[in-house]
Every structure is written in structure tokens, then in C-alpha cells.
Amino acid sequence: MTDPIKVDVWSDIACPWCFIGKRKFEAGAELFGGDVEVEYHSFELSPDTPVDFDGSEQDYLLTRGFPADRIDGMLDRVTGIAESVGLHYDYDALQHTNTVLAHQLIHYAKAHGRQLEMKERLFAAYFEQGRHVGRVSDLADLAAELGFDREDVVRSLTENEYLAAVRADQELALEYGIQGVPFFVIDGKYGVSGAQDAATFASVLTQVRDEKAAVA
């Protein structure tokens, strides 16, 4: 019997591959079958995005230099891959925004022992339900729906209670040299980049477990 395998995941709410990667990792962990302890860490893909971005996802991608004639095809492809793992992305409804407050809310939830639940709720709110995840009031509504104390969430986000924790995650990402997300750090020693197949995650977890068992 070995201790759970610790998996630290850097991701952003606004990253389509991060939600897909979450599903693929979860499937991989199920295939693996052993104990896995997952902790999410903050990574802002686009920290300069305004909270109330005025435009569609297509407009946003144009501002990032994506070729206009290929954007719809690209989004269709992402949407199709999301569907393949059971996610229903709705880019027509999606409200592009800054995610630093959402990251703070994830830290708030972690402090209350419910990080994974909040991460999932925010991903679904953003990609599937067209909910705004950049404003204090909207985030507090989402938290209240999960049973959190809305007033205390408003207080926490207004005070930027967990901004330092977000920045600490980002510093750690820099130390690891993480440039893209999702990025999985397994057992503090191994890195897995991207939304890889479930079987790949399962294989990596098995390898790490076997190595830990060999030295136990």
C-alpha cells in the first residue's frame, strides 16, 4: 500500500483544453484505479483581458491574431473534441472575461475543502452555460448555488483575500517552467503537458505508483 499520488494541475477557467484535460485526466485516474490526490493551481492565460470583454469569442481570438477565416473551424474542432468527452461547449453563449477573480474563488473553495467542486462549477458555467465568471456578483451567485455563504464570498473577492495565493501559484508555475496549460505535475517530480489521452494518464500514474512501491 502506498500513499496517494499527488497531482498538481495548473489550468485556467478560460482554457478549453483545460476542461477537456480535466475530463481526460479523470478518466485516466479511473483507469488507474489507485488513490490520487488532485490540487488545482492558478494560471491566467490572458491576464490583460478586461472583465467585461465587449465581443464574442471570435472577436477575442481576432484580437489575439488568429486568422479570421479559420476561427469558426477552430472552434468547431474544439467543440467536437469537447463533445467526445461529454462536454457541451457553447461558444455562442460564452462570455469572455478576466479570470483572476475566478481563480481567487477556487482558492476560497480550497480553503473550505471544496476546490474540485468549484473548479468543475466554474468550467461548466463558462464553457457550457454562458455564465459570466469575471465579476464578484456573478461568482458569488455561482458559489451560493453550491451552498457557500454568498456574503462571505463577496467579502473575500472584494478584499482580494486570495490574490496572493493566485500569484504564488503563478510563481510556482514559472519555477517549474510551465508555459502552457493544462499542465500536470505528478508526485512533485514528473510533468505531463496537455490534454493527453486517458490511457496516457493512467500509464503515467501506474509508472509513478510502481516507482514509489519499489522504493517503499
Which positions lie near another protein, rule CB under 8 A? 12, 15-18, 20-21, 44-48, 64-67, 70, 73-74, 77-78, 175-183, 185-186, 189-197, 200-201, 203-204, 207-208
Q: Nearest distance from residue 63's CB to another protein, in Å?
A: 9
Look at the block and give the residue holding cell 488507474.
32
For residue 156, what are the contacts with CB-CB under 8 A and spacing of at least 6?
A: 104, 105, 108, 162
Q: Nearest distance from residue 9's CB to another protein, in Å?
A: 12
The CA distances from residue 3 to 65, 101, 187, in Å, are 46, 33, 10
Q: Nearest distance from residue 99's CB to another protein, in Å?
A: 11
For residue 115, what are the contacts with CB-CB under 8 A and spacing of at least 6?
A: 39, 40, 106, 107, 109
Contact 98, 47 (CB under 8 A): yes
Contact 6, 39 (CB under 8 A): yes
Please name every residue paired with 41 in a beta bridge, in sequence order, or none if there are none.
10
Give the nearer residue to another protein in terms of CB position, either 54 or 189: 189
Give the nearer residue to another protein in terms of CB position, either 77 or 212: 77
Q: Nearest distance from residue 162's CB to another protein, in Å?
A: 20
Give the nearer residue to another protein in terms of CB position, either 102 or 140: 102
* CA atoms of 9 and 22, how far apart (whole Å): 9
153: how many CB neighbours lie within 10 A of its CB? 24
Q: Nearest distance from residue 137's CB to another protein, in Å?
A: 26
Q: Nearest distance from residue 128's CB to another protein, in Å?
A: 18
Give the nearer residue to another protein in terms of CB position, either 113 or 189: 189
Give the nearer residue to another protein in terms of CB position, either 153 or 182: 182
Contact 200, 215 (CB under 8 A): no
Which three-class secondary structure state does DSSP give residue 70?
helix
Give the nearer residue to another protein in terms of CB position, either 77 or 88: 77
